[in-house]
Structure 1
Amino acid sequence: MAPGYLLVTMHISDPERYKQYLAEAPKSVQAFGGEYLVRGGRHETLEGEWNPHRIAVLRFPSYEKAKAFYDDAQYTQTRQLRQGTTEYFNMVLVEGFEGAIPQNLDARR
């Protein structure tokens, strides 16, 4: 089964209040078998105009587990702690792959 990844970009505008979210979110992530691969840290734009302020990447055992994490009642409550603490918060769920990269990739995807 292919893993699921959450890619998050954000700009924290109220770091003190955001700490409440940071303290609670990992509990929900772990409950669904997720782990943080990136949580802030140094980054730079190498191509294009994308310049997020902060980046997080989370890996889950599957796309479905990642979606279940996001839809979970506990995490829904935890997300409320984040309200009003960021200038923006973008999250994308993407399915990873297992094994070798297929030779006939569909360019439309």
Structure 2
Amino acid sequence: MSTPAYMLVEMNITDPERYKEYMARAPLAVKAHGGEYLVRGGRHETLEGDWKPHRVAMLRFPSYEQAKAFYDAEQYVQARSYRAGATEYFNMVLVEGVSAPV
């Protein structure tokens, strides 16, 4: 069993209409690489520190390698081109998860 990996994303969408084009394509690329959305927007609040993201997303992939393959895949490269100009910022971090004890 491989260790899952997670993508944490914070963004500020400034052009919702243009961003819809990205969201029509990105989930197909995520699914093609075994990923799934765990969080995509929704209610949130900062509990500690000064981090104040406008919008947060979190994705899970079966492995770090599959997450990297998703990010580098032509399908997602094309999806990202639709995001250009639709956000003030889009920060993404990939982190390896922990293996659950058996």
TM-score (norm. length: structure 1): 0.90
How far off is 1:69 after superposition?
0.1
Secondary structure in structure 1 of the residue aligned to 2:83: coil
CA–CA distance in structure 2, aligned partners of residues 13 and 51 of structure 1: 16
How far off is 1:74 after superposition?
1.1
- Corresponding position of 1:96: 97
- Corresponding position of 1:27: 28
Structure 1: where are the runs of 5+ without partners? 101-109
Counterpart AA for 1:95 = E
Which of the two has higher C-alpha Rg? 1
- Corresponding position of 1:51: 52
- Corresponding position of 1:4: 5
How far off is 1:45 after superposition?
0.2
- Corresponding position of 2:70: 69
> Which is richer in helix?
2
RMSD over aligned Cα atoms: 0.6
Counterpart AA for 2:88 = E
CA–CA distance in structure 2, aligned partners of residues 82 and 96 of structure 1: 27
Secondary structure in structure 2 of the residue aligned to 1:97: coil
Aligned length: 100
Structure 2: where are the runs of 5+ without partners? none
CA–CA distance in structure 2, aligned partners of residues 73 and 67 of structure 1: 12
CA–CA distance in structure 2, aligned partners of residues 16 and 77 of structure 1: 17
Counterpart AA for 1:85 = A
Secondary structure in structure 2 of the residue aligned to 1:90: strand
Q: Which runs of 4+ in 1 moved over 3 A?
A: none
